[in-house]
Structure formats: structure tokens, C-alpha cells
Amino acid sequence: MSASRNRELLALVPVALLLTAGFAAVFAQNDNQLTNLSLSYGLYFLAICLATHIYIRIRLPNADPYLFPLMALLTAFGLVMLYRLDAEMGSELARDQANWFVLGLILFAVVIHFFRDYSVLERYRYTIALISLGLLMAPRLPVIGSQVNGAYLGISLGPISFQPAELAKIGIVIFLASYLREHRELLVVGARRFLGITFPPLKHLGPLLVVWGAAMFMLIFIRDLGSSLMFFAAFLALIYVATGRLSFVIIGMAMFLAGAWVIYHTVPHVTDRVDIWLDPYQDPSGAGYQILQSMFAMADGGLFGEGFAQAMVVIPGTDAPLLPAAQTDLIYTLITSELGLFGACAIIATYLLVAARGFKVALLANDGFSKLLATGLTTVFAFQAFVIIGGVTRVIPLTGVTLPLVSYGGSSILANFILLALLLLISDRARREAREGI
């Protein structure tokens, strides 16, 4: 449907404008530090966007027109911030990120090519679930596993490091969507009321307990409250959408909180993380440094921000970080510091729009698996943004997940473009069927 595609092309214009303005501003500020070549990364990015648009036009003409431009917008936002960090630190983050973006879009094309009929995924759901769990555990393996700030989120194979949770989140959503599509009737029909609360039948409570157990296991095993929260929230969201039983969500949440409370008191790393969240001033130059610097940098931002490339990320005259992990964990802080509350709201609004389009895909889908898959993918994407933004703004304890598409990181870019590919596949089928009157 060419009308959709034309809208998509039009929606890429703001992306191009943001990128051009951002790169030009950073370049103008730091022309002595940056090579002229660096400006071409922006053009390179826009060319790839255009190529992807043409590919979608050919292969998925009916797909949602706004999802790709919105995600490209987030990527462009991240690219500008990374380019700005390059200007200060002499790194090549923007170039690397643009390369990952190309790789992500190749993967995007591959997924669209081979999974046009994505219902085959249902057949392999247990395999996918096992692989995903394996990926989550990988950071605890000897040799390849790596620990950052006490959490086990990454694996490194030689020079390449990877955050397997990024890919695992998609696998787990596929499994849950498929499993719940099949069992949702049973979960509802056999339910009993006890003390005014509806409990699912015991034999079907098993899977719920398994997923709860998995979330708790993750909390203990990879010690990351954020990703554990993200997975469990996506799971509860899917259960709710699948069964319509709010009581399941409440029971699940109660179980999560109870489990988290016990782990808080028994796993020292989690205890430290939570204590620092509650009172970062207890160790302002150690464990509390990152979150305090995040708050201080946001305070400097105010309503309108200090302007592109104006915030301090290192202690002047040294290499010591003033905003530790500004390219990953604290990229939202950096945006807030330079573009102010308004810039921060723009980012949050963009995520909300992605969520709106993702749920729109779910609403239009005709079969249960498609609906649940689109809902799950959208939810996990939105919750990931919540977990890291909530972390740096002290809504919840700070953890090391990436801000989807904005943070520097290959695995995040690759995984989120696979996620986008699946959403567009679902969307294309639903809208095609609607048009053909099926």
C-alpha cells in the first residue's frame, strides 16, 4: 500500500533534520577536534535509512508506516549524542554505532526474508525458550562471562562483547506468546475464587511459578534487578492480556516483591544496589558516585538544557569520568543535561509513540499468537526504556540495561531491529488480511 509507505518516507524527514542539525551543532563546537570525514557518518546513516525504506516498500508494503521512522529517530538521537562524546573523548563511538546500525538492518532484512510466515516460531518455542535461558546464563560461564559493577550482563569473545539478555528478551517473548496462546483458556476456565481473589487452577499455576522462579533465579544469578524486573513485567503484561485476570498480575507482583525482599536481605550485591538507591550520599565517591552524578548533571540541565556538547562528561583536564558510562547507562542523563527537561520529554514521548504503534499492531492482528507476540515485544521494549530511565532518575535502583537504540552497543541495536522486523511482519500480515477482507 503505497500511501503507508509514502507516510513512512515523510516521517523520515524529521529524522534527517534532527541528525543534520545535531551533527552540525556538534561539529561547529568542536571543529578542531573532529575530522571532516566524521560529518559523513550522518549521511551514511541517512542513506541506510532510505535503503531500508525501499526494502520495506518492496517486501512489506502494508506494514505500519511509523514504527521504522520512530526507531530510526531514536537511533539518530543516540548517534548525535555519541558523536558529541567522540568530540570530547576522541573516540569513534558514532562510527561504530553506525556500523552496528547497518548490521542491524541486514539482520532486519534477513528476518523479514526468512520469517515471512513467523508462525513457524511457535513450533520451536521450547527450543527458543531454552536457547534464551542459556543466553541469560552465559555471562556466568567461565572465560566468556564478564561482570560489570557486580552484575553479570555481558559475555566477551575476544574483542567482541555482547549482552545476551538483549536477544533473550525476544526469545522469551516468543515463547510466552506461544505458550499463553495455547493455555490461556485453561488458565481462565479452571480458576477458582478464594477469599475474593481468583486463583488459577493449581496444575496450570505451574508455568507461572516457573517464570517467577526464573525471574528470581536471574536476580540471584546475574544479579540484575533491572532485567529481572523487565522480564517479569513483560510476563505479567502478557498474562493479563491473555487471560484478562488482574488477580494473576497482583499475585505475580506480590510474589515478585516477596522474592525480591528475601533476595535483598540475602544477596549482598543486591543489598548494596538497593541501599545506594535509597541513600546515594552514604558513599558519594564510591558506589553512589554514578547515580549522584546523574542527578547533578540533570540539575545542570534545567528546563532547556545547556545545549549540544555543553555538558561536562569528564572532570576538566583529566580523563576521570564525571558522568560514568555516559555512552550507555547515563545517556538519558546526558540528553537531559544538554537538552533539558524538554529534550528528556521528547525522548520519553518517542518511546511512548513506539509503544502506541506497537500496540496498534497488536490490536489489528487477527490471531492470538500475533496479538500476544506484538504485545509482548512492545511491552518488553517499553519496559526496558522504563528500567534504565527509571534507574538514572532514581525511580528504581540503577541497573546496567541499555536505553533501547539510543545507548551505545551492538547487541542492543541488533536485537531491537530483529524486534522491529517481527513487529513489521505482524503488521504487514494483519493489514494485508484486513485489506483482502479475510
Residues that bind other proteins (CB under 8 A): 30, 32-33, 87-88, 237, 240-242, 244, 281, 284-285, 292, 295-303, 309, 312, 314-318, 322, 336, 340-341, 344-345, 348, 351-352, 355-356, 359, 362-363, 368, 371-372, 375, 379, 382-383, 386, 389-390, 393-395
Enter the DSSP assignment of 195.
T
Residue closer to other proteins, measured from CB, 156 or 366: 366
Whether residue 38 contacts residue 83, with contact meaning beta carbons closer than 8 Å, is answered with: yes
Minimum CB separation of residue 221 from other proteins in Å reads: 26
Which CB, 208 or 380, lies closer to other proteins? 380
Least separation in angstroms between CB 267 and other proteins: 26
Residue 93 or 111: which CB sits closer to other proteins?
Answer: 93
Query: In 268-319, which ranges are continuous DSSP H helix?
Result: 268-278, 289-301
Q: What is the DSSP string of 323-384?
A: STTTTTTTHHHHHHHHHHHHHHHHHHHHHHHHHHHHHHHHHH--SHHHHHHHHHHHHHHHHH
Please report how close the Cβ of residue 50 comes to other proteins at its closest, in angstroms: 30
Cβ at position 55, least distance to other proteins in Å: 28
> Is residue 92 packed enough to be buried (19+ CB in 10 Å), middle (13-18) or exposed (0-12)?
middle
Residue tagged 543486591 (cell numbers): 270
Q: Which residue, 90 or 142, has its beta carbon nearer to other proteins?
A: 90
Euclidean distance between CA atoms 138 and 185, whole angstroms: 35
Measured distance CA(341)–CA(302) in Å, rounded = 6
Instruction: Dump the DSSP string for 133-161.
Output: HHHHHGGGSTTTEEEETTEEEEEEETTEE
* Residue closer to other proteins (CB basis): 145 or 321: 321
The minimum distance between CB 271 and other proteins, in angstroms, equals 22
Query: Are 99 and 160 within 8 A, CB to CB?
Result: no
Q: Which is nearer to other proteins, 111 or 297 (CB)?
A: 297
Helix (H) or strand (E) holding 192: strand 192-194
C-alpha cell at 344: 528528556
| Minimum distance from residue 42 beta carbon to other proteins (Å) | 20
Residue (101 or 332) nearer to other proteins, CB: 332
Least distance to other proteins from the beta carbon of 360, Å?
9
Pick 224 or 338: Cβ nearer other proteins: 338
Supply the minimum distance, in Å, between the C-beta of residue 69 and other proteins: 20
Nearest distance, CB of residue 363 and other proteins, angstroms: 5
Torsion from C-alpha of 61, 67, 69, 74, nearest 10 degrees: -160
How is residue 190 written as a grid cell?
Answer: 479452571
CA 182 – CA 208 distance, rounded (Å): 14
From the list 98, 91, 89, 85, the residue with the least C-alpha distance to 308 is 85
* Residue with smaller CB distance to other proteins, 39 or 353: 353
In the complex, what is the shortest distance from the CB of residue 425 to other proteins, in angstroms, rounded to a whole number? 18
Integer-rounded Cα radius of gyration of the chain? 22
- C-alpha 210/C-alpha 203 separation (Å) is 12
Bridge partners (DSSP) of residue 155 are 145, 162
And the C-alpha cell for 127?
A: 527450543
Q: Which is nearer to other proteins, 10 or 315 (CB)?
A: 315
Calpha distance 91→314 (Å, rounded): 13
- 179 vs 383 by CB, closer to other proteins: 383
Q: What is the dihedral of CA 166, 167, 168, 174, to 10 degrees?
A: 120
